[in-house]
Chains A and B, each alone.
Chain A
């Protein structure tokens, strides 16, 4: 729609993201006036219907929040309940949790890099077009993703909404011989992950370094998956139980997903860039070397280069999975016995898209009386809008279609999982 110096560009549905979202941009006299990242996916009310359920139902219920990242929810729920009930899962069961999480990182990152984001960098609309030019690349991607799914399926019993995760561990531990068969495939996957880094490192990236407050978990001994303190590059260093003292969510009119901010400073960024920047030294030497060989430095502030970071994290996940399988010995018990009691517990784990926070209150019988879940995509909404506010003025000279595509690409930097964030994109640009 055009009126004098105003123009409207609409994208009814953002392609190549999970869920339904929209974008509204107002431009007047070639100046950007306002940007709104609109999420209109219906609220899903998980926090509400968790209340009144038993503590042990939380992993199975919260897994339904997402089909791409169910492990993130199952782990967050499990850790939070165990925290409330005074239980610590350690040793081989802890390793199995890291292993299943590695599977999720692999399948989620590979799906996003090759199927959802790479087309943007290649000037193509989808992976189908990529396959017409680079069929072997797409075949390799599908095979790599499949291996990630197989890890989740073997440990979790099923690749979508796994059924083997429980509070205290797992219903059944995998046999070593089955993991060793997986290891054979993971050896191939390691080479494929190196190829993934090489492929993404050669893409063209706009010059768009930004000043972010990155927030991620940090652990003294490992690149974070399930556990750690919450830190930032601007002074945050807290136990996860203090999350609600430092972060707050609020409802904004244009989104069914709550926006989150750091109380003292505003928007912040979670996800692969945050993890990488805050935990580079925790990556294995081989992975660090691969990242630096790809042209990355120890810090990266360009959100478009998240596609390389996801590739680096895929290599990390494959490498970590192989290490865990190598030292695995079948446990005598696959879970720790739990006695329900009253309490409040906290869990925060690194979903593929960033930190995913859970807190629950239980009564004497272990019934959930309160639940709070903060997914990564809802936490990134404000920084997505800020990126667009900084990005769009640099590209106002583009045609409407080209601007539309660039904005979608900028949003896809975050691999948004919109359905998760609501407990798909319409773009409207108004130029006046």
Chain B
């Protein structure tokens, strides 16, 4: 199926590593709303899976925890060109091939989504557990509404 006119929003995260689940939390927030013509899905962050998920979509939004040592809860919004400077912030993964590598490989193979936005949420607790740090939880709410505003700026139906 060619989804070139459609959007996919991918929340990247790990369920049991505290702040590393923030991408999943944003996705679950978004799924409470009825956003037409938008695919909303979760991913572990394995790079080849990400490339398969965003294939043929025109607009791609990614959300992931970031670690740069700055203020926890800070929200970053990147496109591909910005990410090259900040790719180490998304390198906190045990995956063999994760988000930064996927983006670089996609660029090399001319498979980068035409319209790409990456939201990073500054995190610092990647221990075992399911609790988000308070600033990270607050940031997740903000990112949820930033994304919602893009698609449904007026009325939104809660399902």
Q: Which residues of A come within 8 Å of B, CB atoms?
A: 16-20, 41-42, 67, 111, 115-116, 126-128, 131-132, 135, 138-139, 142, 145-146, 149, 159-160, 419, 424
Residue of B44, B48, B95, B101 near A126 (CB, 8 A) is B101
Q: Which of B94, B96, B104, B105 has the most CB of A within 10 A?
A: B96
Report the separation of the CA atoms of residues A243 and B108 in the bound assembly, to the nearest whole angstrom. 48
Report the separation of the CA atoms of residues A146 and B46 in the bound assembly, to the nearest whole angstrom. 13
Report the separation of the CA atoms of residues A362 and B96 in the bound assembly, to the nearest whole angstrom. 36
Residue of A128, A146, A160 near B105 (CB, 8 A) is A128
Establish whether residues B94 and A131, one from each chain, have CB atoms under 8 Å apart when the complex forms.
no
Q: Which residue of B lies closest to A107 (CB)?
A: B48
Establish whether residues B109 and A135, one from each chain, have CB atoms under 8 Å apart when the complex forms.
yes
Is B52 part of the contact surface with A, judged by Cβ < 8 Å? Answer: yes
Chain A residues with CB under 8 A of B109: 131, 135, 138-139, 142
Q: Which residue of A lies closest to B51 (CB)?
A: A142
Chain B 82-134 interface residues, beta-carbon cutoff 8 Å to A: 94-97, 101, 104-105, 108-109, 128
Report the separation of the CA atoms of residues A138 and B111 in the bound assembly, to the nearest whole angstrom. 12
Report the separation of the CA atoms of residues A127 and B47 in the bound assembly, to the nearest whole angstrom. 12
Given contacts A131-B109, A138-B109, contact A20 B44 (CB under 8 A): no
Establish whether residues A149 and B94, one from each chain, have CB atoms under 8 Å apart when the complex forms.
no
Is B49 part of the contact surface with A, judged by Cβ < 8 Å? Answer: yes
Residue of B44, B49, B96, B128 near A17 (CB, 8 A) is B96
Chain B 127-145 interface residues, beta-carbon cutoff 8 Å to A: 128
Report the separation of the CA atoms of residues A142 and B111 in the bound assembly, to the nearest whole angstrom. 11
Chain B 18-65 interface residues, beta-carbon cutoff 8 Å to A: 44, 46, 48-49, 51-52
Residue of B44, B46, B94, B108 near A135 (CB, 8 A) is B108
B interface residues, how many (CB within 8 angstroms): 16
Q: Which residue of A lies closest to B46 (CB)?
A: A67
Q: Is the interface of A mostly helix, strand, loop or mixed?
A: helix
Q: Which residue of A lies closest to B127 (CB)?
A: A42
Q: How far is the CB of B111 from chain A (nearest CB, A)?
A: 8
Give 5 A-B contacts (CB < 8 Å), ordered by A residue. Answer: A67-B46, A115-B96, A127-B105, A128-B108, A135-B108
Q: How far is the CB of B119 from chain A (nearest CB, A)?
A: 22
Establish whether residues A20 and B94, one from each chain, have CB atoms under 8 Å apart when the complex forms.
yes
Q: How far is the CB of A76 from chain B (nearest CB, A)?
A: 21
Report the separation of the CA atoms of residues A270 and B116 in the bound assembly, to the nearest whole angstrom. 43
Report the separation of the CA atoms of residues A160 and B104 in the bound assembly, to the nearest whole angstrom. 23
Establish whether residues B104 and A424, one from each chain, have CB atoms under 8 Å apart when the complex forms.
no
Q: How far is the CB of A26 from chain B (nearest CB, A)?
A: 27
Chain A residues with CB under 8 A of B94: 18-20, 41, 419, 424
Establish whether residues B101 and A145, one from each chain, have CB atoms under 8 Å apart when the complex forms.
no
